[in-house]
Amino acid sequence: MAGKAIAAYTGCFDGFSDGHALGIGYAQQLRNLWVTAVLSQARLLIGRGQMQAAQDLFRKALAMDETIESLYQELIALLYSQNRLAEGMFVFNRCQSMLKGRGLAPAKATMDLYSKLQKILARGSLTG
């Protein structure tokens, strides 16, 4: 069922399509349900050891709606857990760029992940 909900979502709702407040509220509810379904499905995949499938799900979800910081956070954390630090930094930079384009800064949780990546990468460049 979660797979059907994930597949049904068509991407970021811009708020300008029809201008109806009721439609905007409904679209936001659907978006929230979709995010919850993606996160639940990815965590299930991770719990089963299907890390690549979880990464693919996060990447597909971000391709559909690049505005959801929690999806970036989860993908960065997954890459970090696999010691794929350069990829994690790439995802962080993509998230930061998306947020900056909207006049926002990354959340504390996102910055904490960035700091973890930076510390390990800095140690690696000192010993490399």
- What is the separation, in whole angstroms, between the first and last Cα of the chain? 47
Integer angstrom CA distances of residue 95 from 54, 75, 92, 120: 18, 11, 5, 20
What pLDDT, in 10s, does the model give residues 40-58?
Answer: 999 999 999 999 999 999 9
DSSP 8-state code for residue 49: T
What pLDDT, in 10s, does the model give residues 60-119?
Answer: 999 999 999 999 999 999 999 999 999 999 999 999 999 999 999 999 999 999 999 999
Please tell me the pTM assigned to this model.
0.81
Q: Which residues of 39-57 are buried (b: 16+ CB within 10 A; e: fewer)?
A: bebbeebbeeeebeebbeb
The domains of the chain are located at: 1-49, 66-128
What's 70-112 look like in SS3? Answer: HHHHHHHHHHHHCCCHHHHHHHHHHHHHHHHHCCCCCCHHHHH
